[in-house]
Amino acid sequence: MIRSILIAVVLLAVMPAVLVAQGAVDGSPPSLAELIDNLANAQHRGSFFRDRCVYFQRLYVERFKERTPEGVYADSIYQRLSVAEVSADKDREVIARLVSDTDGKLKPKAVSESSRNVFGAPRFLELLFFPLYPERKGLFEITDLGEAVIDERKCRILRIYPHSDAEPLVEGVFYVDPVSGHPVRLVVDRLHHFELLDDNLDGLVELHAQVEYRTLPNGVTVPQACRADGNSRISRYKGFFKIDFLEWGYQPNPLYPDVVPYFEKMPDFKDPAPAAFRRPDDTDAAGSEQP
């Protein structure tokens, strides 16, 4: 996960700016190939930066007994809200340490130093949020589907479809800035071969997700929120589920001094916790658990 190769760092820092400048010089938008390159480099830069930070994640999981043919989830049987601090430890293993948690009925429970947010498997989330590294472009068929407007922002739509059976990949649609290629939204329709990460993931029958991104003042684009739903046969998480995920609070990890220049570009950067999640009855689900 940690990429320290000098060539990669140079490409991440320089190539997106070069491609955008080329498009701006003659007043024409980037070609599809240039746009894909910009997106891939933005994904790589975001992953590089995020890997070297300390940050928070908040995860709300709800499980249901059934889902109607119309797609309505019914008979809630489990609700859990967890907040974790994520960073690389002294052995450079990325872990999510729980700082607050609830039981399956949203009642607060104690956490210990060894507690981890089980769903926050770093490799799983990495592939979900950053599926299109430069070196992985060749694993996808990428199609331009035209334009759309998201929150009054014009976007190009790029569909990514895996054509490799040897890699865990996502299938879905990117909504990207039409010039910079920075991702605005990713809609995941299907996971391909995620059981290669973990045999248990073979029991993840279905997952649909919508990832929302934000671009920080230093020009790095990272995931901010994700809503997902699906069906699982995994024993501890069996049944239909919905997930709400938020990420915030980026700070430099002392183990990675190469991230410091990214923060020097935004000396006044503050990244407070976003608004609390809401339960179906619109009451505050986070309460006093915000770190």
In this structure, is residue 49 part of a structural domain?
Answer: yes
Residue 68 is which amino acid? T
pLDDT at res. 53:
97
pTM for this prediction: 0.84
What secondary structure letter does DSSP report for 113?
Answer: T
> Which residues of the chain, if any, have pLDDT below 70?
1-27, 114-121, 276-291
In this structure, is residue 255 part of a structural domain?
Answer: no
In this structure, is residue 263 part of a structural domain?
Answer: no
Estimate to the nearest angstrom the gap between the alpha carbon of 49 and the chain centroid. Answer: 13
Report in angstroms the alpha-carbon separations of 286 from 47, 54, 114, 207, 290.
28, 21, 22, 25, 7
In this structure, is residue 108 part of a structural domain?
Answer: yes
- Per the structure, the count of domains in the chain is 1
pLDDT at res. 18:
39
In this structure, is residue 217 part of a structural domain?
Answer: yes
In this structure, is residue 143 part of a structural domain?
Answer: yes
In this structure, is residue 285 part of a structural domain?
Answer: no
Q: Give the model confidence (pLDDT) of 45-82 as tens digits.
A: 999 999 999 999 999 999 999 999 888 999 999 999 99
Strands (E), the chain: 53-67, 73-88, 94-102, 108-109, 140-150, 153-162, 169-176, 183-192, 204-215, 221-232, 239-252
pLDDT at res. 17:
40
- Contact of 179 with 24, CB cutoff 8 Å: yes
Please name which of 160, 150, 151, 128 lies closest in space to residue 59, comparing C-alpha atoms. Answer: 128
Please name which of 147, 146, 144 lies closest in space to residue 159, comparing C-alpha atoms. Answer: 144
In this structure, is residue 124 part of a structural domain?
Answer: yes
Q: How many CB atoms lie under 10 A from the CB of residue 45?
A: 25
The domain of 49 spans 12-249
Indicate left, alpha or beta for 188 from its phi (over 0: left) and psi (-120 to 50: alpha).
Answer: beta
Residues 6+ apart with CB under 8 A from 165: 193
pLDDT at res. 114:
66
